[in-house]
Amino acid sequence: SDNENAPINVFTQHRLIAKSNVYSFVDSLVAPLSLINALVISVGLRNIGKTRETFNELEEIWREHYIYTGDELEK
């Protein structure tokens, strides 16, 4: 959350606070997105075998549908 008083905090045992002070659409979300990225990496590393399996499946899907290949415009 972005503050200690966020309503979601009543449901948590641990709180990760990432201040953003976002007042408009041009303000930065770097801090909260960095925290999310760190959590995703941590979870992925806890079960590296499943993570590799999932990414292999995703890469096959992306290859079949020309996603992230650099040749999307050449189809």
Does residue 11 fall inside a structural domain? no
- Rounded-to-integer distance, Cα 28 and Cα 21, Å: 8
Say what the pTM is. Answer: 0.57
- Whether residue 45 is contained in a domain is answered as yes
20 by Cβ neighbours in 10 Å (0-12 / 13-18 / 19+) ranks as middle
Q: Which domain holds residue 34?
A: 26-74
What tokens appear for 6 in the block?
Answer: 């966020």
Would residue 44 count as lying in a domain? Answer: yes
b/e burial code for range 31-52 (CB count within 10 A of at least 16 → b): ebeeeeeeeeeeeeeeeeeeee
Say if 32 falls within a structural domain. yes
Digit-by-digit pLDDT tens for the chain (75 residues) are 778 888 988 999 998 888 777 777 677 788 888 989 999 999 999 999 999 999 999 999 999 988 887 765 665
Determine, yes or no, domain membership for 10. Answer: no
Quick check: is 4 in a domain? no
Residue 5 lies in a domain: no
Instruction: Work out how many domains the chain is built from and give that number.
Output: 1
